[in-house]
Structure 1
Amino acid sequence: MAGEAHGSFAIRTEGDIVIVTLRGAWNLEGAMTYFQELEKVVEAYQKRPWCRVVDYTDYDLHTPEVTAAQPKLSLWCQLQGCVEQVYVGCNKVDRKALDFSYKDSGMTYVACETVDDAVRYCRCVLTGSPPPAGLNFILAGDTAGLQGAS
């Protein structure tokens, strides 16, 4: 018998951008519930290009099983047409976990300070435009990180 799901989330879209807010401490059951809902949303894109923004601002921790499942989610997103995954509110521990998740996926990720910045970045990616000079973001593996990030 499966355990009770821990962790909560909200999913919304802005055009070809999926914006996810994660909250609390997560176990595998919570992650699977999130994945099932994400599948429903992403199905509508029919593998055309889209971006995923994940807000970690109120995210706490997750179990080792969730860490092990993250690379599969990253790869699944890529196979469904996701061209960029942007994370908001990441601390150094979050970024290390993301580096692990992405290291063998063939895909990178970006971190931004705010959801608005992440959405602006995604719009640039989707239109093939360069990010504006004032947009603060980091690419995967940047150990210097964002200003003020810890």
Structure 2
Amino acid sequence: MKYQEHGRYTICYADNILFVEAFGRWNKELAQRYCQEIEAIITVENPPYWGLFGDCRDWEMATPEVWAEFDRCYGWMVKHRMIFMGLACNSILFKHFIGQVVEHNPEDQASGGQFFSKEFDEVREWCHAQLLNYRGSDL
């Protein structure tokens, strides 16, 4: 049975950063569309490297099926040259679940790692620093 999507998000891509915002409680249907949209954007843009910067401070968690979709999507993103993931989040539980997603993909790890903070500006600065470090090492 197909259910109506719950929750919402925004996504934009610029300067090798995929910026996402997540709101509300998510179900599998929304997570699938979210991951499909990320895959479409990265496939079209085809960046040589990129990072994910997420604002999840207004996200209210998800059904278990969402995490399975995130496991798959994380592996796909790393295989398509995602080098880091920085997330602004208020929940320790959210950080734990994202850590589980990373652990479920042991062969697929973002080379720049992950960073979590409640402070949006701190995450933004970290993401930009990761890009500058990577560009510097790529010269």
Quote the residue 2:123 is aligned against: 118
Question: Aligned runs of 1:25-40 on 2, under 5 Å?
Answer: 25-40=25-40
Distance (whole Å) between structure 1 residues aligned to residue 128 and residue 17 of structure 2: 8
Aligned twin of 2:23: 23
Quote the Cα distance in structure 1 between the aligned partners of 2:121 and 2:79.
26
The list of structure 1 runs, each at least 4 consecutive aligned residues, that deviate by more than 4 angstroms after superposition, is none
Question: Please, which runs of 5 or more residues in structure 1 have no aligned partner?
Answer: 130-150
- Aligned match of 1:138: none
2:53–2:86 Cα contact (<8 Å) kept: yes
Segment drifting more, 81-90 vs 116-125: 116-125
Q: TM-score, normalised by structure 1?
A: 0.78
List runs of 5+ in structure 2 lacking aligned partners: 135-139
Deviations 1:76-134 (A, max 9, x none): 110111000111124111011111111132324211333333232122212217xxxxx
Which residue in the other structure is 1:45 paired with? 45
Q: What displacement does 1:68 show? A: 1.9
One-letter amino acid of the counterpart of residue 114, structure 2: Y
- CA drift of 1:47 comes to 4.6
Letter in 2 for 1:24: G
Q: Percent identity over the alignment?
A: 21
Residues 115/18 of structure 1: CA separation in 2 closer, same or farther (3 Å cut) = farther
Query: 2:80 aligned with 1:80, yes or no?
Result: yes
The 1-side partners of 2:43 and 2:120 are apart by: 23
Q: Look up the equivalent residue of 2:123 and give its one-letter code.
A: A
Q: How large is the RMSD of aligned CA atoms in angstroms?
A: 1.7
Are the aligned partners of 1:102 and 1:109 in contact in 2 as well (CA < 8 Å)? Answer: no
Following superposition, the deviation at residue 44 of structure 1 comes to: 3.3
Q: CA 1:13 to 1:119, structure 2 compared with 1: closer, same or farther past 3 Å?
A: farther
Q: 2: CA distance between counterparts of 1:36 and 1:115? A: 25
Q: Give the drift of 1:14.
A: 3.1
C-alpha distance in structure 2 between counterparts of 1:97 and 1:104, whole Å: 11
Indicate the larger mover: 5-14 or 21-30: 5-14
For the 8 Å contact 1:5–1:33, the answer to whether it is kept is no
Deviations 1:23-69 (A, max 9, x none): 01001001011112212221233151100011111100100101222
Contact kept, 8 Å, 2:32 with 2:69, in 1: the verdict is: no
